[in-house]
Amino acid sequence: MVARFWVSALGWSVVAEDKESREVEIADPSGRARPMLFLVVPEPKSSKNRVHMDVRASASIASEVARLEALGASVLQRVAEDGSYWTVMGDPEGNEFCVLRGPEDGQLSEADR
């Protein structure tokens, strides 16, 4: 399930799981972010995400993209726009998210923060 991908991608933990309904709640162990609940729905993804997450690379975009690909994500597009750049990826179920540049990628502009 996609919750397992996000646990590994974010370094979070599973805090609750209902095996019958297949609901999984994950949380940031530091408590700085709100938990996320993943639900199984019968329909396949058919359009753009209603929620979009951005992940800031801790080192470089290249290393973060490679790490996420090893976890099951795929590169959908590389974007360079208005002096900035990022990589659009899909999680194992095709939900889009972006990897933003990290400190090894150079000076971050206000728009990147």
Domains of the chain: 1-41 (no CATH), 50-113 (3.10.180.10)
Average pLDDT over residues 78-103: 93
Question: Distance between CA atoms of 63 and 67, rounded to whole angstroms?
Answer: 6
Task: Please give the mean pLDDT across all residues of the chain.
Answer: 90
Please name every residue paired with 26 in a beta bridge, in sequence order, or none if there are none: 14, 36
Tell me the backbone φ, ψ of residue 10, rounded to 5 degrees. Answer: -95, -15
| pLDDT of amino acid 112 | 53
| pLDDT of amino acid 110 | 55
- Residue-wise DSSP of 21-74: TTEEEEE-TTS-S--EEE---SSPP-SS-SS-EEEE-SS-HHHHHHHHHHTT-E
Is it the case that residue 109 has pLDDT exceeding 70? no
Collect contacts of 76-82 with beta carbons under 8 A, ≥24 apart: 82/111
Task: Give tens-digit pLDDT for 53-70.
Answer: 999 999 999 999 999 999
Average pLDDT over residues 85-111: 86
Q: What is the pTM of this model?
A: 0.85
Question: Distance between CA atoms of 66 and 61, rounded to whole angstroms?
Answer: 8
